[in-house]
Amino acid sequence: MQDPSSQPGGGALRLRDVTFSYPGASAPTVRVRDFRLGIGEQVVVTGSSGTGKSTLLHLVAGLMKPDLGEVIVADAALGAMRGSELDRFRGRHIGMVFQTFQLLHGFSALENVLAALMFSDLPKSQHKARASALLERLGLDRPHATPEELSVGQQQRVAVARAVACRPTLVLADEPTASLDEGNAGEAVRLLKEACAENGAALMCVTHDRSLIPVFDRHESLGTRGEMSGRPAGEPAGV
């Protein structure tokens, strides 16, 4: 695998001396000295409950700001942006697959993907075709069904389509298999990885599920104090 630090522009994501603590905490929740994710690279970050996995994703997405350090996505420092500028940047460059999907209820699967395309550079006249093609590619044959009418696995497919709709630089996935049974979990991760690869997006997946480690070429772990440390892909659990 190519070293992401050697790629032009520094890659999809860089975390540099990032520290974050919740008010009243005795120690930082997240501490990352230097982390880089290359263009199109895919990484799984594992950690047990309370190690700061979701907090890390919120920092990377610009939904929270670190106490110290820099979060850089697509060569842009998130800390330098405010308000609507950050919202527009996030919508264009960062796709998200939430643990509970957070689809718009009362709207169809197609409309959920169309909502994401509001941030796209794609001409509006092409939005419906783009959304429909994504849902079809991901195996969803009921584009006009609402989330309430879809199975959990089908909702996951809509969430993945929405995440890659704008061809973002980076997709963040928070416990993407947590709501799925074992039979659907492997398929869901495969579809997520394939969708990111096909749309040129880097993927950062955080999970407590160590069975996902062999599925990714790169593995990082969060320690009990929120420090990120590298692990070789496929390393046995408990090492």
Summarised one tens digit per residue, pLDDT across range 171-181 is: 999 998 887 77
Beta strands in 112-226 (DSSP E): 170-174, 202-207, 218-222
pLDDT tens digits, residue range 8-18? 345 899 999 99
> How many CB atoms are located within 10 Å of the residue 206 CB?
25
The per-residue pLDDT for 3 is: 39
- At residue 66, what are phi and psi to the nearest 5 degrees? -70, 155
User: Per-residue b/e over 24-62, b at no fewer than 16 CB within 10 Å?
Assistant: eeeebbbbbeebbbbbbbbbbbbbeeebbbbbbbbbbbb
Residue 46 domain boundaries: 39-62+81-231
> What is the SS3 assignment for 96?
strand
The per-residue pLDDT for 231 is: 42
Residue 118 lies in a domain: yes
DSSP 1: -
Residue 198 lies in a domain: yes
The per-residue pLDDT for 2 is: 37
Residue 166 lies in a domain: yes
Q: How confident is the model at residue 64 (pLDDT cuts 50, 70, 90)?
A: very high
Residue 88 lies in a domain: yes
Residue 10 lies in a domain: no
Number of structural domains the chain divides into: 1
pTM: 0.87
Q: How confident is the model at residue 224 (pLDDT cuts 50, 70, 90)?
A: low
What CATH number does residue 160 fall under?
A: 3.40.50.300
User: What is the DSSP pairing of strand 30-37 with strand 42-46?
Assistant: unpaired
The per-residue pLDDT for 10 is: 56
Residue 133 lies in a domain: yes
Residue 220 lies in a domain: yes
